[in-house]
Chains A and B, each alone.
Chain A
Amino acid sequence: MKARLLLMALALLMALAPTATAAPRASLTEIEKQVMCPVCGTLLQLAESPQAQREKAFIQRLIAEGKTEDQIKDALVAEYGDEVLALPRDSGFSLSAYVVPIVAFLVAVVALALGVLRWRRAGNQGGNDSADPAGPKGDDAERLDADLARYDL
């Protein structure tokens, strides 16, 4: 019974093992791609200025302390403000940076579709008009028909 329990526990551990290793260790190479050098105005990955060197050393220190990627980015924001992030956060007001372009794109597509529909409808109406050329109508048409009838060509 004990052996069976032990086997089951081992199987459970093995099943959970991939989950346990799912949170990768933070790396300078990865974080450098996601944050800016505030003084240079470029990605930290591309920067070699003295300020950038300090920022890289700061990140390495936090990695050595076992901090996660998110914790390190939070620490950078606490030091340099939100502008240190290369991409805006996907929460709060910063979310508008992602939502506004999508909404603007959808509005533009709808406006374009409506415009095309209206244009096609106008085109069709124009086609009918050309099949039925503009000419005298009502009394004028009757008078014209009568005049033409007088000329038996």
Chain B
Amino acid sequence: MSVRSSIAVLGVLALVGLLVFGLVSKGGSRVAVGDRAPSPSLPRLEGGGSESLAAYEGRWVLVNFWASWCEPCKQEAPALEDFQRQHGGPKFTVLGIDTRDLTDDGRGFVREYGLTYPQLRDGDGGYAHDYGTTGVPENFLVDPSGRVQWLLPGPVDEEYLREQVAPFLPREKS
């Protein structure tokens, strides 16, 4: 094969590679049970500064993706707050991720529903993309070592949390 042909073939391969990379990087794959949960640093919704899931290592964390414009998120918020009041502590917390939302709207939502668990802001939806979410709300239960143990692409309610999530948690109020 002549040098010219080799260059042409390399050019075509590079182009195909770029197209494949573009397609692969466009759609994020969903985090599965057993996968390590993504843990980039995100700004806190209130209070300034930033934080990541790594800050909660050693605790069970229910990562809840939500947005103030999302109707099902409004329905599940009271159940999540109740669950946090029952189980929240040094061994468990709900962690809210306000995604693709306006900061003020997100803060208004937290106040309206009296949410006491920590909230991070994912304005561009990059963190939700890392988890491979397709909408809001979505919930991921992450174990103390940072691996996903359970997930639900949709809203939770009190019964669901009691039957599906609580059995994972330590017996005593964590």
- Taking a contact as CB atoms under 8 Å apart, the answer to whether B100 and A38 are in contact is yes
Contact residue among B105, B123, B125, B126 (Cβ-Cβ distance under 8 Å from A54)? B105
CA distance A51 to B125 in the complex (A): 13
Instruction: Determine whether B69 belongs to the interface, using a CB cutoff of 8 Å to chain A.
Output: yes
Q: Which 3 A-B pairs have the closest CB atoms?
A: A81-B124, A50-B69, A51-B69
Contacts of B105-144 to chain A: CB distance below 8 A: 105, 123-126
Instruction: Determine whether A105 belongs to the interface, using a CB cutoff of 8 Å to chain B.
Output: no
- Taking a contact as CB atoms under 8 Å apart, the answer to whether B123 and A81 are in contact is yes
- Taking a contact as CB atoms under 8 Å apart, the answer to whether A79 and B69 are in contact is no
Contact residue among B67, B70, B102, B126 (Cβ-Cβ distance under 8 Å from A79)? B102
Instruction: Determine whether A71 belongs to the interface, using a CB cutoff of 8 Å to chain B.
Output: no
Instruction: Determine whether A55 belongs to the interface, using a CB cutoff of 8 Å to chain B.
Output: yes
- Taking a contact as CB atoms under 8 Å apart, the answer to whether B102 and A58 are in contact is yes
Instruction: Determine whether A11 belongs to the interface, using a CB cutoff of 8 Å to chain B.
Output: no
Q: Given contacts A80-B123, A80-B124, A83-B124, are A39 and B102 in contact (CB under 8 A)?
A: no
23 sample A-B contacts, Cβ–Cβ < 8 Å, listed by A number: A38-B124, A38-B125, A39-B100, A39-B125, A49-B69, A50-B70, A50-B71, A51-B69, A51-B101, A54-B68, A54-B102, A54-B105, A55-B102, A78-B123, A79-B102, A79-B123, A80-B123, A80-B124, A81-B124, A81-B125, A82-B124, A83-B124, A84-B124
Taking the closest CB of chain A, its distance from the CB of B69, in whole angstroms, is 4
Taking the closest CB of chain A, its distance from the CB of B82, in whole angstroms, is 25
